[in-house]
Amino acid sequence: METADLPENINWPNLSVSQTSIKIRKFFIWLLVAIVLIVALATLLRLNAEAEKLDENFRTPETCPNTLSKTDAYEDYSEFKQKEGLMHCYCLKELVNDPYSYTDINFKDINPNEEEKICEKWFVNYSAKTLYKWGGPTIAVAINQFVEFLFKSFARWECHYTINDYTLYTWKKIFLVKFVNISIIALLANIKADFKILNDFGLLDGEYNELSPDWFRNVGGTLCYTLFLEIFFSPQKHIIKYFTTITKRWFDRRFRCDVKDKSDPTGEKVLTNKK
């Protein structure tokens, strides 16, 4: 025996929709969920691939030496093909010490035939790599916000019989997409595991096969940044809606405010249209 739903909890116009029709509608909504997740995964994999290409130009070491000469950095860059990534360390140090003139650094004192401004090239490369690194979480949060709006809009099309079903199924899909988009996709893109079928699609073909300090610094830092953005931006639409409603109400009353009626002892009576 089941308890009957309260009348105010029932979507009466949807009772005429058949169960078969509702199942078909749910199938298309879940298909949309899968497409969104595939797009999010493909976007992150693409950003990671572009970041790896940039890392080939200027390798970023886990740690930089305390003392580093200009000659050592140039030799590592030109002769050893950035075996140690010392050029990154040298240019980064010069950027911190003198951000206004580091791009004018040249290496003609070491190699008179060297015309390239290596540190300027490094800065462009490093900026693009940083953009790819932190652009992924930003895109993930943007997709999450879009998904929440999309699923709330399509939930009415599913024609649920009750308001409880409408709320339950809507937030179940939103939670699934956000959880996978924030955590699972990042793991699939960065973990290194020998699964040829998945590796061919760029999955489990990352740089890390263990939880190293470099993992926590790069992947862990990215996850924390994603969570921060998600927590910060999730309530913003409600705050914006609140102030938008107040502004419209104020405009509708010709820029006049409500005031309390001082003659009312309860203090609950409001006089409208008062300057």
DSSP string, 93-133: HHHHH-TTTGGG---TTT-TT----HHHHHHHHHHHHHHHH
Per-residue pLDDT reduced to its tens digit, 58-107: 887 878 888 888 888 888 888 766 667 888 888 888 888 888 877 788 88
pLDDT on residue 215: 78
What is the rounded average pLDDT of the residues 177-190?
80
The pLDDT-based confidence of 269 (bands split at 50, 70, 90) is low
- Give me the amino acid identity at 218: N
d(CA 65, CA 74): 15
Whether residue 76 contacts residue 84, with contact meaning beta carbons closer than 8 Å, is answered with: yes
H/E run at residue 257? strand 257-260
Please identify which residue in the block is written with the tokens 């992150």. 44
pLDDT at residue 275 tops 70: no
The pLDDT-based confidence of 176 (bands split at 50, 70, 90) is confident
Residue 257, strand partner residues: 274
| Number of H-type helices and E-type strands within the chain | 10, 2
To the nearest 10°, the Cα dihedral for 172, 175, 181, 185? -70
Residue 208, strand partner residues: 191
d(CA 106, CA 118): 7
Per-residue pLDDT reduced to its tens digit, 225-245: 888 888 888 777 778 888 888
Q: Domain residue spans in the chain?
A: 11-234, 237-275
pLDDT at residue 268 tops 80: no
Structure pTM?
0.63
d(CA 83, CA 75): 10
d(CA 157, CA 26): 9
Q: Average per-residue pLDDT in the chain?
A: 79
pLDDT on residue 38: 83
What is the rounded average pLDDT of the residues 245-265?
68
**Three-state DSSP class for 259?**
strand
The pLDDT-based confidence of 201 (bands split at 50, 70, 90) is low
Token readout for 69 is 């000469």
